[in-house]
Structure 1
Amino acid sequence: MSLSPEPQEKLDYKIGETLPGVDDIESGPQQGEIEEYSCASNKSWFEDFVDGFRERRIPEIDPNLSPNERAILASSRAPLNRTLKNRHLQMIAIGGSIGTGLFVGSGKALRIGGPAAVIIAWTLTGSMVYSVVQALGELCVALPVSGSYLSYVSRFIEPSFGFALAYNYLLGNLITAPLEIISASITVDFWGVDPKYTEGFVALFFVVIYGINFFGVKGYGEAEFIFSLIKVLAVIGFIFLGIILTCGGGPNSAGYIGARYWYNPGGFANGFKGFASIFVTSAFSFAGTEYFALAAAESKNPRKDLPRAAKQVFWRITLFYLISLTLIGCLVPYTNDRLFAADSVDITASPFVIAITEAGIGGLPSVLNVVILFAVLSVGNSCVFAASRAVLALSYYGFLPSKFAYIDQRGRPLIALVICLIFGLLCFLAGSSKKGVVFDWMLALSGLSSFFTWGSVCVCHLRFRMALRAQNRTTDELPFTAQTGIWGSIYGCILIVVVLCFQFWVALFPVGEKPNAGAFFEEYLSFPVLLVFYAGHKLYTRNWTLLIPAKDLDIDTGRRDVDIELLKQEIIEERDYIKSRSVWYRVYRFWC
């Protein structure tokens, strides 16, 4: 196993030419194409099934290239299936991170911060996430490579930080997946299921989540489409119901409610410290927003579909978070006793359920519990997908054995999925009385990985723009440019640093509690772990480069549109066409 990516030189070739170091294999896929597996008509179903597990190889890469050059070439030519359609990416972008953070976690935030603090925190965090997604959209449309942002870090910043970030991200997803399976089994308790059946439900959900991913990227895409559709419909339904209840509707209505609870008991529960605490909670609720970008290398038309997916984040933030949470603040006071629940998946602590129950509407809490169950399964499904693609990225960059990058004829990263499945067996700790302690400390190893990932995306975007400028090129050659520009990435970096500072403060001095070393490290252990991974890789490789010079950054390998002049002409024609349409159409294309 190689852990020693050396400082690389920019690959010296012109757009449209054959990549250096790649042997000409007549039957192999060409640049930007993937050779799809097809069933031979003379094969039996069993022979076809077995043949589907054979390795799909990429053309041989010149071993004389530097490790980083070989990694860039390999990640850009990963033989994954490109079967994700626009509808899959749209739903992954819109509903990908809607889960217990919104449905249940928002209750804890309301109790600690109050309704005004909730809206301010989610608005600020949402603006930061929107900037991150816009930057990520620009990078993924230009360079839809395997590993996406995990590959960009080693490519645009430097390999040691890429090593540390990728492992932190991988650990987070490997541990979260079995934890979500346990959470799904807990949601079933709402219907009074006998505890002796808990492990049976764990086994069922284990088979569902990992089985979906063994069907390949299309299985993941279809499952996320259904899961996200259910979550989206549930939130939209609650918004209409919430408006009616706020205006005085409902069986137990005592008249118009409006902003009554914003005055009594008030908009803020614990002053600035309460706000700082839920600022962190709001950021965690957006975890997973970046998943749509991991699917960039497996989408049919990233140039067309990914920009739309990136733009949809605005609507998710506005519609699903801010509007629904504003209504929650109107319907549930932060002093409500039901908000004080210890379990993060306890549906009785959900402010959505509390609002419905207080209104005297029967039946809907059970419906919402079904939605929460699907939301938990969706998160688990996405974690398996993300972890398997992280294994690929680590393998291509020499951070894991190259055999771990095995991709079969149906485009499935088999060994990566098997690794995820092995870690997934941790879900059977559900029967242990110590499962909470075990998972708390395992998650602590990577608890801040979302912040590190978002921050690295913003830095990669800034470095990408610097490379364009240093190499006398412009954004005219980019099919999609971030609507927030470089200032959005700068803003994102600043706000992420603020969130990390707030997290340090509230971890050291929790709201309403005394300082506790154990509680602090549960919240902040991942930061020193990241530093250890970074320093360890530096010492092992003896590569003391802190940043790859902008003029040496490779901003071409992995493009599907290799004829830049033709691409520029097509972009101009597309923009001229949009300008020729009505103002309503132009507004629609800007936001959607």
Structure 2
Amino acid sequence: MSDIEAKGPSGTASAESLPSCYEGPSEQVGKWQNFKDSFKRMDETEFDPNLSEEEKAIIATSKAPLNRSLKSRHLQMIAIGGSIGTGLFIGSGSALRTGGPASLLISYFLVGTIIYCVMQALAELAVTFPVSGAFSAHASRFVDASWAFAVGWNYLILWLVVLPLELVAASMTITYWNPGVSNAVWVAIFYVMIMFINMFGVRGYGEAEFVFSLIKVVAIIGFIILGVVLICGGGPSDDGYIGGRYWQHPGAFHSGFKGLCTVFVTALYSLAGTELVGLASAETKENPRKVLPKAIKQVFWRIILFYFVCLLILGLLVPYDDPRLIGSSSVDATASPFVIAIKNGGIKALPSIINVVILIAVLSVGNASVYGASRTIASLAAQNMAPSIFAYIDRSGRPIMGIIAQGVVGLLCFLAASPKQNEVFAWLMALCGMSTLFTWTSICICHLRFRAAIKAQGRTTDELAYTANTGVIGSYYSIAFLTFVLCAQFWVSVWPIGAKPSAVVFFQNYVSILVILVFYLGHKIWTRNWKLLIPLADIDLNSGRREMDLELIKQEMAEERAALAARPKYMRILKLWC
């Protein structure tokens, strides 16, 4: 399929020759006219009518005219910004209360190992095929169209729901200083700000995320240093040396193994967003082979370092039975364990500073949600899995209709002024509760199918510009662990900790699984596509590659391996893992 051709407005042009972005009209026309013209649709590609729907989808996603202007620093901060948000700053309080400090560390560490394996699999796929809407597009190519439809829409729903949730969380954070102003005022301000940022295209989003994430990283490093001082008794409070006091009383674990299983789901939700770097691979200015592996490795280590060290310090500074953790939820910044830890240390000014950081983190995740949703729905539309209007990409490389769709759903944030807001947002959260589990599982399944197709077609991994450090073993391990989490979630949903079985609790925890099943079976029935998997021999391993000269790739990789072999052993190890 490498020789598939697509017909453009000027005749027949190779799919490889399609433009990556449109530079815009001439400056002589005038800035206002340029601005208006930038919203016009990029010239559409007319496909050969003899191509199958699968072949058209592959071309459409691999040659999407998105604006490739992201740099390596943007990629790293996008992944950090998408994952360090309310899950760490606020949701960790709920996890601490439920499972205790030891369960907190164990669950996040194990989920961290999953992240590394998933991100390695994603790096291999994204470097080889830097396509628009990575997750659903890869599933459509390597697994099955129905599975791609279900996973793509599930991931889209996640980000559509995240925006109003994060906007409400931001408004709740503001009430820490000014409780007298209606939440609707604040959500309106934040809503306009986030939508304004995303109207500048991917470069505006990338720069905003870089600044947001840099502030979060600096704040976390500062908290780690302060936490060590407080644990050693250097704070102004009269607590003295704290050490492991709270691990002894009230204890390291709470609610036993069931408490640990409950925290697994919180950890999955908290670390969701690291996979955004896969979506961004289609909009990188530099060669994905050069920047993606390094970005993904560094993002993993930074996130795990920040999460693991922060959670260790929080478990030492805040007992799990602290009454202020009782009200902990995704939209209650006053119950943040970071704020509680600093208050316990007797420092008066810093809680306000931490709340500023929480506010920035919330806005950062909300900003990432617009990016994630708009790119995902554009990819689904390109694959004929969503209304074709959402495939509209303007001359500035923006999936403008996808951004508008996210903006419309984001208006749900004004439910913050409703007395029923907690009820509504509990169900909205339920829709995306297990979404990350299915997204990560799908990435690993696609990786395994990709490797199996290479073997079945008599090819080798020597032609790959990047291979996952964890190999296929990492993907098998991730699928097994995520399946365990799925079963554990069923257990704690049917028999919740400290409460009687409740249908409401069960469906709030498991409704996202029903959503996946409805989308999957619905697509099967609608398309009458009853095959479970694409035959390995029929999987396309050529279309969508940014670099098609396989012999040149092999030569470059051989030279790079030779240069690395000549370096000291510690440098080889560092290069492998970092």
TM-score grouping bracket, smaller chain normalisation: over 0.9
| Contact kept? 1:94, 1:309, Cα under 8 Å | no
CA–CA distance in 2 between the matches of 1:219 and 1:520? Answer: 41
1:7 alignment partner in structure 2: none
Tell me the equivalent position of 2:368.
382
Moved more, 464-473 or 260-269: 260-269
Spell out, residue by residue over 1:449-475, the C-alpha distance to the aligned partner (whole angstroms, 9 max, x if none): 111111000000000000111111111
Structure 2: how far apart are the matches of 1:391 and 1:35? Answer: 19
| Contact 2:91-2:328 at 8 Å conserved across structures | no
Please give the per-residue CA displacement for 1:132-169, whole angstroms capped at 9, x wherever unaligned: 11101110011000011121111111001111111121
Give the one of 222, 230, 233 matched to 2:218. 233
1:406 CA displacement? 0.8
Q: CA RMSD in A?
A: 1.8
Residue pairs, 1:265-284, within 5 angstroms: 265-284=250-269
Matched, 1:144 2:127: no
Match of 1:99 among 73, 82, 85: 85
Partner of 2:247 in structure 1? 262
Shift of residue 498 of structure 1?
A: 0.8
Aligned with 1:511 (options 497, 503, 513): 497
Distance (Å, rounded) in 2 between the aligned partners of 1:39 and 1:102: 44
* 8 Å CA contact 1:461, 1:486 repeated in 2: yes
Is 1:398 the equivalent of 2:361? no
CA contact (8 A) 2:135 2:152 kept: no
1:510 deviates by 1.0
Q: Does 1:214 find its partner at 2:199?
A: yes
Contact 2:66 2:397 in 1 (8 A): yes
Q: For residues 363-412 of structure 1, what are the alpha-carbon distances to aligned partners after superposition, in whole Å with 9 as ceiling and x for unaligned? A: 11111101110111111111111111111111111112323211111001
Partner of 1:305: 291
**Equivalence for 1:322:** 308
- Are the counterparts in 1 of residues 21 and 66 from structure 2 also a CA contact under 8 Å? no
Asked if the contact 2:173/2:334 (under 8 Å) is kept, the reply is: no
- Which of 403, 407, 426 is equivalent to 1:421? 407
Question: Which residue does 1:73 correspond to in 2?
Answer: 59
Aligned to 1:547: 533
- Kept in 2, the 8 Å contact 1:92–1:224? The answer is yes
The answer for unaligned runs of 5 or more in structure 2 is: none
Q: Where in structure 2 are the equivalents of 1:344-363 lying within 5 Å?
A: 344-363=330-349
Corresponding residue pairs, total: 576
Letter in 2 for 1:224: E
TM-score (norm 1): 0.94
**Do the aligned partners of 1:28 and 1:35 also contact (CA within 8 Å) in 2?**
no
8 Å Cα contact 2:83-2:272 kept in structure 1: yes
For 2:507 and 2:263, locate their aligned partners in 1 and report how far apart those are by CA, in whole Å: 18
3-state SS in 1 of match to 2:121: helix
- Segments of 5+ residues of structure 1 without an aligned counterpart are 1-10
Map 1:537-576 → 2, pairs under 5 A: 537-576=523-562
Distance 1:155 1:261 in 2: 51
State how far apart, in whole Å, the 1-side matches of 2:205 and 2:343 are: 34
TM-score normalised by structure 2 residue count:
0.96
Residue 48 of structure 2 is aligned to residue 62 of structure 1: yes
> Which of 156, 164, 169 is the aligned partner of 2:150?
164
Among 131, 147, 165, the alignment partner of 2:117 is: 131
Identical-pair percentage: 53
CA spacing shift, 1:567–1:25, aligned 2, 3 Å: farther
For 1:567 and 1:293, the matched residues in 2 are separated by 21
What does residue 188 of structure 1 align with? Answer: 174
| Deviation, structure 1 residue 591 | 3.2
- Residue equivalent to 2:272: 287
Offset at residue 39 of structure 1 (A): 4.3
Is the Cα–Cα contact under 8 Å of residues 212 and 223 in structure 1 kept in the other structure? yes
Q: Distance in 2 between matches of 1:270 and 1:497?
A: 22
C-alpha contact (below 8 Å) 1:32/1:558 kept by paired residues: no
**Does residue 40 of structure 1 match 2:26?**
yes
Give distance in 2, aligned partners of 1:435 and 1:116.
Answer: 33
Separation in structure 2 between the aligned mates of residue 253 and residue 556 of structure 1, nearest angstrom: 66
Q: Deviations over 1:531-588 (max 9, x none)?
A: 1211111111111110001111112111111100001101111222222233444344
Asked if the contact 2:128–2:465 (Cα under 8 Å) also holds between the matched residues in 1, the reply is: yes
Secondary structure, counterpart of 1:42 in structure 2: helix
In structure 2, distance between residues paired with 1:213 and 1:463: 35
How far is the alpha carbon of 1:176 from its aligned partner?
1.6
Amino acid at match of 1:230: I
**CA positional deviation for 1:314:** 3.0
Deviations 1:477-532 (A, max 9, x none): 11111111100000100111111111111111111111110111111111122112
Does 2:452 correspond to 1:462?
A: no
Contact preservation (8 Å) 1:28, 1:59: no
Q: Which residue of 1 aligns with 2:327?
A: 341
1:32: Cα distance to partner?
A: 7.5
Alignment of 1:195-210 (within 5 A): 195-196=181-182, 198-210=183-195
CA distance in structure 2 between the aligned counterparts of 1:240 and 1:127, rounded to whole angstroms: 25
